Chains A and B, each alone.
Chain A
Amino acid sequence: MRLFELGERSAQVHDVLVTLAELAERDDARAVLLESADDPALLKPYLNRLDLVVLRFPVFRDGRGFTQARELREYLRFSGEIRAEGHILPDQAAFLRRCGVDSVVLPKDGNGDPALWEKQLRQFPVAYQRSVLPERSVGPGLRVEEAS
């Protein structure tokens, strides 16, 4: 498994990764795997002990993970690591980052080239809508850039 970091929060490796259903029985679990149909709000009772939430993308076209990530950050104020794995494309790097995802498990095929992911993160200098990241306005209007 090769990890790629999208943001500042460093990716951590966890030996125990459980499903949402297993979480209640595993007091030692610090990492959980959400399928795209899982409701992140169900993580509420466990957030304090979770260090990592992994969002599994069954196919890159299934965009539920983007909403799951935003719900974790914006509604549940989850401050641990969010990771995307499964069928994801480098073309989605900035979208993932802007929704609050910190790291990805690089795909094993040609889409796993870290240079492609790196390039995509720097593709657009501005965005036209707010994200979960700290941002500042670029001129008047809707445009923002990351505040670093």
Chain B
Amino acid sequence: MSIPVGHYQYDRIDRDFLQARIAEFEGQVNRRLDGTLSEDEFKPLRLMNGLYLQLHAYMLRVAIPYGILDSRQLRKLGEIARRYDRDYGHFTTRQNIQFNWIRLEDTPAILRELAEVDMHAIQTSGNCIRNVTADEYAGAAADELVDPRVHAEILRQWSTLHPEFTFLPRKFKIAISGSPNDRVAARFHDIGILARPGEAGAPVFRIFVGGGLGRTPVIGEELFDSVREEHLLATLEAILRVYNAHGRRDNIYKARIKILVQAIGVEAYREAVEAELAQMDLERYRLTPEAVAAIRARFAVPLLEAPADADAVLAQQRRDDPLFDRWVRSNTHVHRDPGHIIATISLKPGGGIPGDATSAQIARLADLADAYSFGEIRITHLQNVVLGHVRKDRLRDLWLGLAEVGLAEANIGLIGDIVACPGLDYCALANARSIPIAQKLGARFADTALQAEIGALRINISGCINACGHHHAGHIGLLGVDKRGEEFFQLTVGGRAENGAAIGTILGAALPEDETVDAIARLVDCYLGRRESGETFLDTLTRLGHEPFREAAYETV
């Protein structure tokens, strides 16, 4: 078997480890069934292996480390959707996939099937270090300084069944990027890492700590500007050690690292981390160049060859076909190789469920990845799919192939590219259903010409205050609330997760579902009517302030 492009290739030792993890989990299920383990004891153990109990069924969240998988793995996910779920899977904002209709007794068999393609559900939930996320354009984008995937894989390995950090006060999320353009929401993570080139070829890392959304949205603060590669793991151990010892455990809503950082201040946190580092045997924790090189050697690099006229062919095709041109404009990104382009495939069809894909679509995506992008697929934190290395002269063929299975929606980064949590249709925590309002908004703005006219505008929807739909970070954010048994939505504007991260501001009183859709339409009209040339929604909002938008949203008939 050849080495996959874009992610780490397992060997026998890694596979034996996975089998041991499955055997362990199966033993835990059996001990629950025979009563040796109480439900209170079993719950954290099953969560650590991605198994939730939702409103109607078990949900299994499968890890896609740093969002990258190969076509063989994607096909397996499609098979699992068909055999064990209701013929679809749901891609999440942490680049994973979840299956919403799983039977407990099927889970060991599903885990074994996943292990056949080197996949698992390890640490996709629970109060441990979660699956690490990375830039969806890693190793492909022209604006990238360092490909973060080798270090993302190092973090995945290091955090796997970590003996000290598996029973933390609360969940712990790490994201890593190597681009100056933040595409991982680094400052909304417990730890956000930005890599850049250092001296002698090894990268250095800027580390943010204490960011997060949820009930208490906080923008992460810089802990260190330049951590050397050899001290990356030691530094992370020290940050986690301070958190594990001092993070609050009396109240789950105050248990994230952000609360600790806010309570003592980032300077005191930095001093505490430095005090740990001063006592640690740094040699023991040293990340050696040899270890990095060994892991890097398990990644295949795509051989990027394109005909000299690839760019010209694409330009001609765009002139000939306005529909294709519109898709290229919204759904592609500049590749580091002039003959190639990055294509983002929208899982947000107008009126559809954000992030869902049927087994047939999943199978087709695997085929298209083989044909057009070295068999490599990326899942984005905005619940879409990326083919990272498409030859420019073949992009139109890819687009035609996508259209056959309803995956050619031209709306990436536009108003139809809605992020929504599963909401009350699935989730036991939710106050409101996120999916129906996402579908109504998607249908209201289904016209892709209109979406292109509106331009960059991100809507995020969360069904409750836990903020899985990242509403605080949406240019327009919706939070579902319960008002005497009725579903209402609170509107925020001005959030952003990219560079210049900001938390949205509440616009006014919550509205019922249909009125919320109308209010958003009026917000958009207000922007279209008052924008100046070249302004995005956020630009106009910044220039005018919230008042005109508040008036528009709450203007009653």
Looking at A74, A123, A141, which has the most chain B CB atoms within 10 Å of its CB? A141
| A123-B20 CB under 8 A given contacts A62-B167, A70-B164, A141-B294 | yes
Mark each residue of chain A from 114 to 148: 1 if its CB lies under 8 Å from any CB of chain B, else 0. 00100110011111111100000011111100000
Minimum CB–CB distance from B210 to chain A (whole Å) comes to 19
Q: Within the complex, which residue of B13, B23, B293 is in contact with A126, where a contact is CB–CB below 8 Å? A: B13
Determine if A99 is an interface residue (Cβ-Cβ < 8 Å): yes
Determine if B157 is an interface residue (Cβ-Cβ < 8 Å): yes
User: Contact between B295 and A63 (Cβ–Cβ < 8 Å)?
Assistant: no
CA distance A67 to B280 in the complex (A): 13
Determine if A95 is an interface residue (Cβ-Cβ < 8 Å): yes
Interface size on B, residues (CB 8 A): 47
Q: Within the complex, which residue of A74, A95, A99, A125 is in contact with B16, where a contact is CB–CB below 8 Å? A: A125
CA distance A130 to B280 in the complex (A): 12
Contacts of A68 in B (CB 8 A): 245
Contacts of B44 in A (CB 8 A): 60-61
Number of A-B contacts (CB under 8 A): 113
CA distance A96 to B165 in the complex (A): 11
Determine if B254 is an interface residue (Cβ-Cβ < 8 Å): no
CA distance A119 to B291 in the complex (A): 30
| A91-B24 CB under 8 A given contacts A61-B127, A124-B17, A138-B13 | yes
Q: Within the complex, which residue of B158, B290, B294 is in contact with A128, where a contact is CB–CB below 8 Å? A: B158
Contacts of B293 in A (CB 8 A): 140
Mark each residue of chain B from 497 to 530: 1 if its CB lies under 8 Å from any CB of chain A, else 0. 0000000000000000000000000000000000
User: Contact between B167 and A66 (Cβ–Cβ < 8 Å)?
Assistant: yes
SS of B interface (majority): helix
Minimum CB–CB distance from A88 to chain B (whole Å) comes to 10
| A140-B291 CB under 8 A given contacts A63-B165, A66-B164, A123-B23 | yes
Contacts of B241 in A (CB 8 A): 67, 70
Determine if B45 is an interface residue (Cβ-Cβ < 8 Å): yes
User: Contact between B13 and A62 (Cβ–Cβ < 8 Å)?
Assistant: no
Contacts of A63 in B (CB 8 A): 164-168, 244
Q: Within the complex, which residue of A62, A91, A110, A129 is in contact with B158, where a contact is CB–CB below 8 Å? A: A129
Mark each residue of chain A from 84 to 98: 1 if its CB lies under 8 Å from any CB of chain B, else 0. 000001011011101
Q: Within the complex, which residue of A64, A138, A140 is in contact with B244, where a contact is CB–CB below 8 Å? A: A64
CA distance A62 to B45 in the complex (A): 13
Determine if A19 is an interface residue (Cβ-Cβ < 8 Å): no
Mark each residue of chain A from 40 to 78: 1 if its CB lies under 8 Å from any CB of chain B, else 0. 000000000000000000001111101110100011000
- What are 13 inter-chain pairs, A to B, with CB distance below 8 A? A66-B167, A67-B241, A70-B241, A92-B167, A109-B36, A110-B35, A113-B36, A116-B31, A126-B16, A128-B157, A140-B290, A142-B157, A142-B295
User: Given A95-B163, A139-B13, 10 other A-B contacts at CB below 8 A?
Assistant: A61-B167, A66-B167, A66-B244, A68-B245, A91-B24, A91-B45, A95-B161, A99-B163, A142-B154, A142-B158
